[in-house]
Structure 1
Amino acid sequence: MEDIPTWVPVVALALSDGAGRWLMHRRPAHKQHGGLWEFPGGKVELGEIPRDALVREIQEELGLTIASDDLEPAAFADAGIVGAPVILLYRCARSSGPEPRALEGGAVGWFTHADISQLDTPPLDRELARALSGTGHRGGPS
């Protein structure tokens, strides 16, 4: 068997503002899924564990500091095809630092579950939002 990964591990953050809204990030236009809204996060690098990757990604993308101990697994989503990403969504109720800002371009905003359902999002983020709101199943293709 070749040493080629059969899936791409990706981590994402469901950060609550405590008032029923969740932080979403709009992808920069020049990136894959450019202009679409997603839960912030990114790829897990070789040798990283998912929680540490999410802490790193959130600092790089949004300038926020989160603690790996504050991350609670919330849901996952996959496209069900070889080589596709599997997104591991972690819930977090607190962060430190300034207000989140899109350091790599795009935009950020706080949205209710109803708002998120109206945003243009990649298919796997739609699945994650449904799972987070309790209106969908955890994981699997959408």
Structure 2
Amino acid sequence: MVDSSHGFVRDRRGCRHWGPYGAAGLLVRRGQRLLLQRRSWRVHHGRTWSVPGGALRAGESPWDGACREFAEEVGEVPPLRHLHTLVDDHGGWAYHTVVADLAGPEGGPDRAEPPRRRRGDGEGSAYRWCTVAEVGALRLHPGFAASWPALVAVLEGTE
């Protein structure tokens, strides 16, 4: 079976993007911390921080695509509670950042265990739980950096 998520497309401004059906990533929150991924040096905008994510398949929802990409890059997807999906529309192509709380045992998400890590697909080289303030000090993927102010507003509105 051919993977329908492969291939480049151009948005209405002429910018080139990977994934003919758009892309999605999963921003997991545990209490006041966010799980970020440092991108491998081998991928586009390598050695920057972002969320696990990638191209959507034909007919795949942003939630399903973000969870699939998380599983491919990090490992088992933990129980989550969807909070918001931020859409960065480029005109004919969009990136969906799915924001979700890590659903923890009694006592709330601060006591939940982080996702079980496994050897991923090589797109991520490191993973880190960060506060909002710490994220601002990291070298971010340009697309994630452009969405970051809107994501902070979403996070502040869901506390």
With the length of structure 1 as denominator, give the TM-score of the two structures: 0.74
Q: Which residue of 2 aligns with 1:52?
A: 64
1:16 counterpart (29, 32, 45): 29
Q: Is the contact between residue 56 and residue 65 of structure 2 (CA under 8 Å) also seen in structure 1?
A: yes
What is the RMSD computed on CA atoms of the aligned residues?
2.8
* 1:57-98 C-alpha deviation (Å, 9 max, x unpaired): 11111103256x8333332224x476xx52111111126884
CA distance in structure 1 between the aligned counterparts of 2:151 and 2:128, rounded to whole angstroms:
17
Q: State the AA in 2 paired with 1:124.
A: G
Gaps of 5+ in 1: 136-142
Question: In the alignment, which residue of structure 2 is the partner of 1:99?
Answer: 116
Higher strand share: 2
Higher deviation after alignment, 88-97 or 33-42: 88-97
Return the letter of the residue paired with 1:64: E
The structure 1 segments of at least 4 consecutive aligned residues displaced by more than 3 Å after TM superposition are 4-8, 95-102
Residue among 13, 38, 43 paired with 1:31: 43
Q: Matched residue pairs, number?
A: 127
- The answer for unaligned runs of 5 or more in structure 2 is 1-7, 12-18, 104-112, 155-159
Q: Is the 1:10–1:86 Cα contact (8 Å) retained in structure 2?
A: yes
Task: Report matched runs for 1:60-75 at 5 Å.
Answer: 60-66=72-78, 70-75=81-86
